Amino acid sequence: MTRFFTLFFIVNSFIAQAQELNCTVSVISPGVQNTEKRIFETLQNNLREFMNSTRWTNDEFALEERIECSILVTVTERISTDRFKATMQIQSSRPAYMTSYNTVMLNVNDQDFTFQYVENQLIQFQENQHINQLTSVMAFYAYMIIGSDYDSFSQKGGEPYFQKALQIVNNAQSENERGWKAFESTKNRYWLIENMLNARYETFRDVVYKYHREGLDMMQSDLETGRRAITECIEPLKKIRLDQPNSYLLTVFFTAKVDELVNIFKESFPDVKTRVTNDLMQMDPANANKYQAIIKS
């Protein structure tokens, strides 16, 4: 299969096949009063079934190959009987080669999630049609999760899935719901997929591959070679930040990787620690305090 998981697992014909995602979905509503909580439990079950039962690719996955991911929906307001306002936290991960360590691939906080839902409604998805906000948002992130995962195993391997995410965004352009349009925000679904497919960020996807396949996946057998490959990823990221200082894509990347980067470079040589820390703090000032732990270690 194109995910290159043959490097990780020997799969024989007797292993049960599965869909692509192993997605944990949680729906909470701490600020919503006077609402029957059962509707949110039903929504949670429906969304989990939708994410894990839909066939998103043409590839065959064994149970242990499924992409680990989680979605937390926090309902903040019941606008009407069947209309809700919420936020979403989307996270996915994949294993580093020959280890029990899972590296975070995506960590996105979606603030523009307003949707309609009637208890027990059927959640259906069609690639060429925007059926409703709930379905489109979930499908969009399913493809972003899969595309990001595939990009980490082969160079630009996630391209077909990012294109499907783009199609979902395009299908939603005439709708009233927020999160799909360029002018609404600089950090929404539109800009996430726009950045991912924009030629100006082509180097970013090369970095994703090098970081994971030549960096993390090498560290079990050759720690310094793997760390050196990750160090080499910093220069192209600096150039992207210089050329596109407001890049949402880089914000998402560093949100996912900040703690990992700190742990990777804590054991570096002193001169490397200083240089890397300064570079990371300039690229990701929001997490400057965390990066200082590299030097202090």
Give per-residue pLDDT as tens, 96-114: 999 999 999 999 999 999 9
Joined tokens for residue 93: 């991960």
Residues 176-199 have a mean pLDDT of 96
pLDDT at position 198, please? 96
Asked whether the predicted pLDDT for residue 195 surpasses 80, the reply is: yes
DSSP conformation letters of 136-148: HHHHHHHHHHHHH
- Answer whether residue 280 shows pLDDT above 60: yes
State pTM to two decimals: 0.93
Helical packing angle, 248-265 and 202-209, nearest 10°: 30
Measure the N-to-C terminal CA separation of the chain; round to a whole number of Å. 41
Residue pLDDT, tens place only, 240-275 = 999 999 999 999 999 999 999 999 999 898 999 999
**Cβ neighbours, 10 Å, residue 270:** 8
